[in-house]
């Protein structure tokens, strides 16, 4: 409840957790906070996805993201 109020008050667009979240936890938190929620692994995969240049690299990141779901 306190974190929800802080997210709303500060108009936060992204919340990152330093612990692994299950897909259902991530989804429920996104609904509760009404913003994007990532865990540490999701953040790392997003960074790799942004920096992937080759077709093979992009496919590897996409596979890793699908496995993380």
> From residue 6, how far is each of 33, 47, 59 by CA, in Å?
10, 26, 37
| pLDDT score, position 2 | 86
Q: Kindly report the CATH number assigned to the domain that includes residue 40.
A: 3.40.50.11060
| pLDDT score, position 45 | 95
Q: Which domain holds residue 56?
A: 2-68
| pLDDT score, position 26 | 95
User: Looking at the 3D structure of the chain, how many domains does it have?
Assistant: 1
| pLDDT score, position 50 | 95
Helix (H, G, I), strand (E, B) or coil at 50: helix
Residues of the chain whose pLDDT is less than 50? none
| pLDDT score, position 30 | 95
């Amino acid at each position: 409840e306190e974190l929800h109020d802080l997210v709303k008050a500060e108009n936060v667009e992204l919340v990152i957790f330093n612990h692994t979240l299950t897909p259902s936890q991530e989804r429920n938190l996104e609904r509760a906070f009404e913003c994007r929620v990532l865990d540490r692994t999701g953040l790392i995969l997003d960074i790799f996805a942004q920096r992937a240049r080759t077709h093979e690299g992009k496919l590897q990141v996409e596979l890793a993201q699908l496995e993380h779901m």
